[in-house]
């Protein structure tokens, strides 16, 4: 059951977010990044739940692979990255403006068939909000699938900002037909697939641990006969971003649809893991990625019984 939110608290949180977006929009990008790092440091020091969840996730992922100081640094970096993403958000329009190419570079573009549309399977890694405008700046049409914000005022501001970057915005609740249309029109549709879904999921492993992953990319790719391109936009020490594409993932058609879909989603999760391992301090470790989903397990067990 979803946790009820105090409407007064939600209203003030949304109002603060809108004010923050408008203020950072007029500040220099360099200053926004300084502010973002400061916000991340405060998040790290003052929000115990963030530290608790992120530490557990980092331990779950790396175990004895990394030392305690290395894990602590990943946690701090992840908090600061989240602050930077928030502070940079309004500046995404710079990527599609003249001279925007100075802010990022492409890597792995040879893997992408730009003559047709496709799915971009991304993660909350680096600055995921800038992937769309970077694609637009590179001369390609882009669309994203997003969850609608609870506060309608904040949702309008965020949507208008994204659309101002040249991105077509599709709400998750009505995404099916729109995604197909976007792909037919030659757009690249971005989906973030690294979080624990509440429905329409299959069991996979991520960092060697069992969890659930949305089946959406495989279903869309199968229906649209489109490739899935794992991708991420990560930042180097100088502040420049790299939009990196990995080789495409095609849905295999062996005759066992259920197995084909699960295999495809596992490949997507494996690709996301590769990208996260390259820049672990830029991933959103605060999300409970390995959360147990009893209702999903029950549904999966029932399907297995029916298919015996």
Examine residue 277 and state whether it is found in any structural domain, yes or no.
Answer: yes
pLDDT for the residue 136: 94
Q: Give one word for 102, left, alpha or beta, with left for phi > 0 and alpha for psi -120 to 50.
A: alpha
Rounded Cα–Cα distance for residues 74 and 176 (Å): 36
Residue 272 in tokens: 């996301």
Examine residue 31 and state whether it is found in any structural domain, yes or no.
Answer: yes
Give residue for tokens 């992953």.
213
pLDDT for the residue 2: 43
Q: How many domains does the chain have?
A: 1
Give residue for tokens 């946690």.
75
Examine residue 148 and state whether it is found in any structural domain, yes or no.
Answer: yes
Residue 205 in tokens: 């492993």
pLDDT digits (tens, 9 = 90+) for 84-123: 999 999 999 999 999 998 999 999 999 999 989 999 999 9
pLDDT for the residue 5: 67
Rounded Cα–Cα distance for residues 100 and 114 (Å): 20
pLDDT for the residue 1: 40
Residue 60, domain extent: 7-306
pLDDT for the residue 4: 58
pLDDT for the residue 174: 67
pLDDT for the residue 250: 87
Rounded Cα–Cα distance for residues 132 and 134 (Å): 5
Question: Half-sphere exposure (CA, 13 Å, Cβ side) for 229?
Answer: 26
Examine residue 70 and state whether it is found in any structural domain, yes or no.
Answer: yes
Rounded Cα–Cα distance for residues 271 and 206 (Å): 10
Examine residue 242 and state whether it is found in any structural domain, yes or no.
Answer: yes
pLDDT for the residue 172: 81
Q: End-to-end alpha-carbon separation of the chain, Å?
A: 32
Rounded Cα–Cα distance for residues 85 and 118 (Å): 25
Pairing of strands 188-192, 201-206: unpaired
Examine residue 125 and state whether it is found in any structural domain, yes or no.
Answer: yes
Examine residue 168 and state whether it is found in any structural domain, yes or no.
Answer: yes
Q: Which residues of the chain have pLDDT under 50?
A: 1-2
Examine residue 1 and state whether it is found in any structural domain, yes or no.
Answer: no
Residue 73 in tokens: 């640094």
């Amino acid at each position: 059951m979803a946790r009820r939110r105090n409407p007064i608290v939600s209203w003030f949180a949304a109002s603060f977010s809108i004010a923050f977006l408008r203020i950072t929009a007029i500040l220099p990008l360099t200053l926004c990044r300084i502010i973002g790092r400061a916000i991340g440091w405060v998040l790290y020091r003052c929000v115990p739940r963030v530290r608790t969840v992120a530490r557990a996730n980092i331990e779950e992922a790396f175990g004895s692979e990394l030392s305690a100081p290395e894990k602590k640094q990943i946690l701090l970096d992840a908090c600061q990255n989240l602050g930077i993403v928030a502070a940079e958000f309004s500046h995404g329009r710079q990527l599609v403006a003249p001279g925007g190419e100075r802010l990022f570079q492409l890597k792995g573009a040879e893997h992408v068939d730009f003559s047709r549309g496709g799915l971009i399977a991304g993660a909350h890694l680096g600055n995921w909000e800038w992937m769309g405008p970077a694609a637009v700046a590179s001369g390609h049409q882009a669309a994203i699938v997003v969850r609608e914000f609870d506060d309608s005022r904040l949702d309008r501001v965020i949507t208008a900002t994204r659309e101002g970057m040249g991105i077509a915005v599709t709400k998750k609740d009505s995404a099916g037909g729109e995604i197909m249309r976007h792909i037919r029109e030659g757009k690249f549709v971005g989906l973030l697939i690294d979080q624990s879904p509440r429905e329409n999921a299959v069991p996979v492993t991520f960092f060697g641990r069992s969890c659930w992953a949305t089946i959406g990319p495989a279903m869309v790719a199968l229906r649209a006969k489109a490739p899935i391109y794992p991708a991420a936009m990560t930042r180097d020490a100088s502040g420049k971003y790299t939009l990196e594409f990995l080789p495409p993932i095609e849905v295999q058609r062996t005759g066992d649809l259920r197995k084909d879909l699960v295999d495809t989603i596992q490949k997507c999760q494996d690709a996301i893991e590769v990208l996260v391992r390259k820049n672990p301090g830029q991933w959103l470790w605060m999300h409970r990625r390995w959360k147990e989903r009893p209702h999903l397990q029950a549904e999966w067990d029932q399907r297995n019984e029916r298919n015996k």
